[in-house]
Amino acid sequence: MVMFCSNKNPYLSQDAELAARILLDQGQEHSIETPHGVLHVTLHGARTTRRPAILTFHDVGLDSKSCFSTLFKFEEMQEIVKSFTLIHIDAPGQDEGAATYPTGFRTVIGVGVGAGAYILSKFTLANPDAVEGLVLVNIDTNARGWMDWAAQKLSSVTSSLTEQVLSHLFSQEELSSNTDLVQSHRDRISKSSNLFNIELFWKAYNSRRDMNLDRNSTFKCPVMLVVGDQAPYEDAAVECNSKLDPTTTSFLKMADAGGLPQLTQPAKLTEAFKYFIQGMGYMASSCMTRLSRSRTTSLSSSYSMDGSRSRSRTLSQGSQGGQMPPSPSQTMEVSC
């Protein structure tokens, strides 16, 4: 069954339960009618309840394919997730507070970007036993302040919806350079047949509530925060990191990755994700990957863990490779 957890009371949908069963049996894409709109769910990989499913949630202006296809089609990532069930959620747009959890699985590992990271974070706080780990890209756990609200109101008058969303997705440097990635997303969003839902999702995200996180009220599971250097939400991600438990939190700041590191630097993010999964105990032995074996790799170091869920993962510049000693709380920094 599929549970929807909104800012109001959680509820169950019989139609969603039936659709989820079809998905599990056939592994096909389906559209599920919900009070929040049409929810698109896609399942890939092995069906097993012995391991958590990997549940993804995309950002505003993206869908599961445009947000995650580059990352999960990357050869190294495919090797990592082949023994998991991979579940992609495409948001209905009407309610950014809606999150999904397939109860056919005991637990999930959430992978969210931007608005999707916020949604999965809200779900995790409401259902701590259902989530074993979180990978949050470009997370902002704060409500918009008055200055941000005023700037957004002005932007809505002077800029098109497409340009507003692009400024949310990409750094100013990327926008100024008008990279191929920016241009492809500009064309895709502006020509989308679903602009109405994109606008609803965008407005809902801008009206988000503060999560009020602190060291005493935070996630109970391991968390990896990811953000690109100079990305729009770099400061927000740094602030979020300061509020989380340092013994269970890793912070990966990727140089020259732009606003969408999962698209621009899938190799670097895959490497970090591998060690995150290993630290949760789901990769008992991890052979050195093609990335960490290569002397020409742009990762400045590789590291290993013993599988403890209570230890912080660390990757820092300045080492040529090999194992690094554990540290209570440090920041992963990757030079691209």
**The domain that contains 257 carries what CATH number?**
3.40.50.1820
* Residue 261, pLDDT score: 95
What's the number of domains the chain is made of? 1
- Listed range (76-85, 116-125, 218-227, 294-303) with the worst mean pLDDT: 294-303
Dist CA 89 CA 123 (whole Å): 14
Strand partners, 34: 37
* Residue 270 is assigned to a structural domain of this protein: yes
Dist CA 310 CA 329 (whole Å): 11
* Residue 154 is assigned to a structural domain of this protein: no
pTM of the full structure: 0.76
| Structural contact between residues 271 and 299, judged by C-beta atoms closer than 8 angstroms | yes
* Residue 117 is assigned to a structural domain of this protein: yes
> What range defines the domain where residue 110 resides?
14-142+212-279
Task: Using a pLDDT cut of 70, give the percent of the chain over it.
Answer: 64
CA distances from 191 to 2, 198, 200, 203, 290 (A): 31, 12, 17, 19, 38
CA distance between the termini of the chain:
41
Does 26 have pLDDT greater than 80?
no
Does 117 have pLDDT greater than 60?
yes
Average pLDDT over residues 106-117: 93
* Residue 274 is assigned to a structural domain of this protein: yes
* Residue 122 is assigned to a structural domain of this protein: yes
What is the sign of the dihedral through the CA atoms of 95, 97, 103 and 104? Answer: positive
* Residue 177 is assigned to a structural domain of this protein: no
* Residue 97, pLDDT score: 44
Does 321 have pLDDT greater than 70?
no
* Residue 302 is assigned to a structural domain of this protein: no
Q: How confident is the model at residue 69 (pLDDT cuts 50, 70, 90)?
A: confident
259 vs 86, more confident: 259
* Residue 3, pLDDT score: 36
Q: How confident is the model at residue 46 (pLDDT cuts 50, 70, 90)?
A: low
* Residue 153, pLDDT score: 65
| Structural contact between residues 169 and 114, judged by C-beta atoms closer than 8 angstroms | yes
253 Cβ contact list (under 8 Å, min separation 6): 227, 228, 229, 234, 237, 331, 332, 333, 334
* Residue 80, pLDDT score: 83
Provide DSSP, 136-173.
Answer: EES---SPP-HHHHHHHHHHHHHS-HHHHHHHHHS-HH
* Residue 105, pLDDT score: 73
Residue 114: other Cβ atoms inside 10 A: 26
Q: How confident is the model at residue 328 (pLDDT cuts 50, 70, 90)?
A: very low
| Structural contact between residues 301 and 318, judged by C-beta atoms closer than 8 angstroms | yes
Alpha-carbon torsion, ordered 249, 220, 109, 112, to 10 deg:
-60
Does 166 have pLDDT greater than 60?
yes
Average pLDDT over residues 60-69: 91
- Conformational region of residue 161, where left means phi above 0, alpha means psi within -120 to 50, and beta covers everything else: alpha
Provide DSSP, 14-72.
Answer: HHHHHHHHHHHHH---EEEEETTEEEEEEEEE---SSS-EEEEE--TT--HHHHHHHHH
Q: Smallest Cα–Cα separation from 40: which of 85, 82, 100?
A: 100
Strand partners, 37: 34
For all residues of the chain together, what is the average pLDDT?
75
Which residues in 49-83 are b (16+ Cβ under 10 Å) and which e? eebbbbbbbbbbbbbbebbbebbbebeebeebbee
Provide DSSP, 202-261.
Answer: HHHHHTPPP---BTTBS-SS-EEEEEETT-TTHHHHHHHHHHS-TTSEEEEEETT-TT-H
* Residue 288, pLDDT score: 42
Q: In the Cβ-directed half-sphere of 152, how many Cα atoms lie within 13 Å?
A: 14
Does 299 have pLDDT greater than 90?
no
Q: Rounded to the nearest 10 degrees, what angle do helices 161-169 and 180-190 cross at? A: 140
